[in-house]
Chains A and B, each alone.
Chain A
Amino acid sequence: DTAVSQTPKYLVTQMGNDKSIKCEQNLGHDTMYWYKQDSKKFLKIMFSYNNKELIINETVPNRFSPKSPDKAHLNLHINSLELGDSAVYFCASSQVSDGYTFGSGTRLTVV
């Protein structure tokens, strides 16, 4: 009974392609996030949505577009993929000041 699930787990694609990663949480949390973990293992926030509304948008290229159809889902669409986009992308959710619950990650490799 996975709390935060994201798909796919692995994604290998060519430069220039467009791809999407999906995330769903069944915890009833109001806030969802996308984090990127690069090859140096540094976790950096990309976006945060609270109840379908965008509240955090860190300096992310506009090739990355999040979409939240409802508060249980937060998807990430990436246009014109570049080599530097290769990383692990983590979805997470939280409620107020609680800690996050993370999904298991999507390992994106751009070739």
Chain B
Amino acid sequence: RKEVEQDPGPFNVPEGATVAFNCTYSNSASQSFFWYRQDCRKEPKLLMSVYSSGNEDGRFTAQLNRASQYISLLIRDSKLSDSATYLCVFPGGGNKLTFGTGTQLKVEL
């Protein structure tokens, strides 16, 4: 099983839709996770940290299901500007972060 697995997409959704991505991980010892956003030809940027209690920031909600070893990202009321690749990330040893291959989201009019 890969360390981190994500559905590559693309997810094509209309503006205003709710969309959710999942990411599965294999290292059951991982304690914290992150979602990063990467726009085309840009660097990844931290979107949210994911704790055991979940995390909500405006239209974005991240949750952790430790029993099934996946994290999720829910985006409500999608905007055109949400179009990007969303990377699931978890820490390894020595401050190392392991990145998933990303899920591409395209929000359309």
Does B associate with A?
yes
Q: Taking beta carbons and an 8 Å cutoff, which residues of A are in contact with B? A: 31, 33, 35, 40-45, 48, 50, 55-56, 90, 94, 96-97, 99-105
Secondary structure at the B interface, as helix, strand, loop or mixed, is strand
Q: Taking beta carbons and an 8 Å cutoff, which residues of B are in contact with A? A: 32, 34, 36, 38, 42-46, 49, 85, 87, 89, 91, 94-99, 101-102
8 A-B pairs with least C-beta separation:
A102-B43, A99-B46, A43-B99, A55-B94, A31-B95, A99-B34, A104-B43, A42-B101
Secondary structure at the A interface, as helix, strand, loop or mixed, is strand
Which residues on the A side are within 8 Å of B97 (C-beta)? 45, 94, 99-100
**Can you report 17 A-B residue pairs in the complex whose CB atoms are below 8 A from each other?**
A35-B99, A41-B38, A42-B101, A43-B87, A44-B99, A45-B96, A50-B94, A50-B95, A90-B44, A99-B34, A99-B49, A99-B89, A100-B46, A100-B97, A102-B44, A102-B45, A104-B42
